[in-house]
Amino acid sequence: MIRVLIADDEDMIRTALASLLRLEEDLEIVAECRSGTEAVDAALRVDPDVCLLDLEMPGLDGVEVAERLHGRIRARCIVVTRHARPGVLRRALRAGVEGFVPKSRRAEEVADIIRRVAAGRRYVDPEIAADALSDERSPLTARELDVLRAGRRGETIAQIAAALHLSPGTVRNHVSSALGKLAVSSRQQATVVAQERGWI
Amino acid sequence: MIRVLIADDEDMIRTALASLLRLEEDLEIVAECRSGTEAVDAALRVDPDVCLLDLEMPGLDGVEVAERLHGRIRARCIVVTRHARPGVLRRALRAGVEGFVPKSRRAEEVADIIRRVAAGRRYVDPEIAADALSDERSPLTARELDVLRAGRRGETIAQIAAALHLSPGTVRNHVSSALGKLAVSSRQQATVVAQERGWI
DNA sequence: TCCGACCCGTGACGAATGTCATGACCCTTG
DNA sequence: CAAGGGTCATGACATTCGTCACGGGTCGGA
């Protein structure tokens, strides 16, 4: 019996998937979560075999959840996303994710992907994988991405600095460096292009 | 037997819903469509009892599909949407839609809503309906919205001014006024909240 | 070993941004 | 008519932001 955690903030898709997966005799849904933080808590508590994580969630997104779980529990993570881009895939793989599925796949395939990942294999959507090979990687360093991510809702430099436990000056240096690489001139523009390319 | 057409461009949610509805003995899925135009064609061809239409679709959106079908066939339409807002609801009702369901509802409820609408009754999500009555309209003026829209990708004040044929000072005044109403302190934050509430 | 990259921090500078006061013009409404 | 709201504009002001130069630290690869 494969024990599965599902996290998606959209009730309709989450409950629909859960109902379908419950019909499978070898799968058991042990947790349904509607946010990233909820998913982390639940995963640490119930210790599932597989986590099916939506990427777009309030608070922590799917990849961030996988990062936090990676190494702490044995669960293997599958990230599901609406906008599948090569950059997101890379970020997910770096976070130790074992499965990557765009929502343009059919729901029927999800059960098989869960079984596959539970069996220790990986699953990466073939189309996205092909794109990822041919596509340019983010020129931004980890810290530069952190800073943009922490400021993506218009937070001030001071707030970003506090959130990342950095000095404001350091934050501005990272920002400035990122702006140069992206050839833009404001943080807001930088977050827009970074999001479009799936780097955040 | 209630004959149902489903239209949603996202394969995972559409196939998941279709599979669930197929389990209901009194429902029959007679068409699955991935775009608005496809939905119109299929509806005219198969003459379903109920159309379950996603709002966010490429080409024609759900409300536009309902408009085109209204009066031509007897099918009753239900619009499903991710971002349910009073404004959208008003538009849907004007288009002759009989059901309005946000994706924050559980999938299990969909079958009942379909039966209800097929029986000639209406279904409007209670929460959204309440919002619509209390009229949560934007406190921003037309110009303030224009300015935020023109700057939503991080454009500078000067660029916004040029785009709207205004003086930079005027733009800053509108921005400042909008920031006060939204209780935020930067343009980027303002665009984030305005977008979240569906005002931009 | 040294070099390069990334990371963290400081300080200073100019430019952009947001705030405020003020005044003008058009509307609509009472 | 008068009052009020929205629009447009100007100028002054403090703050924030992005840039630059600089120094110190770690770490991995040549």
Which tokens sit at A76?
A: 């293997």
pLDDT for the residue numbered B168: 94
**Mutation site, A14, A57, A188, A191, interface B, largest B CB count within 10 A:** A188
Asked if strand D comes closer than 7 Å to A107 Cβ, the answer is: no
pLDDT for the residue numbered A138: 72
pLDDT for the residue numbered B136: 58
pLDDT for the residue numbered A121: 93
Average pLDDT of span B21-46: 96
pLDDT averages per 10-residue partition of chain A, 200 residues:
96 96 96 95 96 90 90 92 81 86 94 96 84 68 92 93 93 94 93 86
Nucleotides of D under 7 A from a protein CB: 6-12, 16-22
SS3 content of chain A, % helix, strand, coil (to 5): 50, 15, 35
Sequence-ordered list of residues with C-beta below 8 angstroms from that of B136, at least 6 positions apart, any chain: B86, B197
Cα atoms in the 13 Å half-sphere on the side-chain side of B79: 32
> CA angle, corner B154, sides to B148 and B160, nearest 5?
55
The Cα A167–Cα A161 span in angstroms is 6
Q: What is the dihedral of CA A140, A174, B189, A183, to 10 degrees?
A: -50
Which residues of A fall within a CB distance of 8 Å from B192?
153-154
Whether pTM exceeds 0.85: no
Average pLDDT of span B181-192: 93
Asked if strand D comes closer than 7 Å to A172 Cβ, the answer is: yes
pLDDT level of residue B93 (50, 70, 90 thresholds): confident
Q: What backbone phi and psi angles, to 5 degrees, belong to A20? A: -65, -45
Q: Which of A104, A108, A188 minimises the CB distance to B10?
A: A104
Query: Exposed e or buried b for every residue in B170-185, given b needs 16+ CB within 10 A?
Result: ebbebbeebbeebebe
| β-pairing verdict for A2-7 and A99-102 | unpaired
Shortest-distance nucleotide from B161 CA to C1': D8
pLDDT for the residue numbered B137: 65
Average pLDDT of span B62-85: 90
List the single protein residue with the shortest CA to C1' distance from D8: B170
CA of B169 to C1' of D10 (A): 8
Is B153's CB within 8 Å of A16's CB? no
pLDDT for the residue numbered A137: 66
Which has more pLDDT, B98 or A139?
B98
Q: Are A113 and A78 in contact (CB under 8 A)?
A: yes
Is pLDDT at B42 greater than 90 in this prediction? yes
Average pLDDT of span B42-60: 93
Chain B interface, Cβ < 8 Å to A: 10-13, 15-17, 19-20, 80, 82, 103-108, 110, 153-156, 184-192
Q: Which of A15, A107, A188 minimises the CB distance to B188?
A: A188
A150-159, B90-99, B111-120: the lowest-pLDDT one: B90-99
pLDDT for the residue numbered B46: 96
Q: What backbone phi and psi angles, to 5 degrees, belong to A6? A: -115, 135
pLDDT for the residue numbered B111: 96
Tell me the average pLDDT of chain B: 90
Per residue in B123-150, pLDDT (tens digit) is 998 877 766 655 556 788 889 999 999 9
- A 105-144: CB within 7 Å of strand C: 141-144
Is B154's CB within 8 Å of A11's CB? no
Closest CA to A95 of A144, A130, A60, A49: A60
- B 106-165: CB within 7 Å of strand D: 141-144
Chain A interface, Cβ < 8 Å to B: 10-13, 15-17, 19-20, 80, 82, 103-108, 110, 153-156, 184-192
Total residue length of chain B: 200
Residue A20 parent element (H or E): helix A11-22
For A156, the closest chain B residue by CA position comes to: B186
Q: Which of A13, A154, A156 minimises the CB distance to B13?
A: A13
pLDDT for the residue numbered A88: 81
Closest Cα in chain A, distance from residue B120 (Å): 24
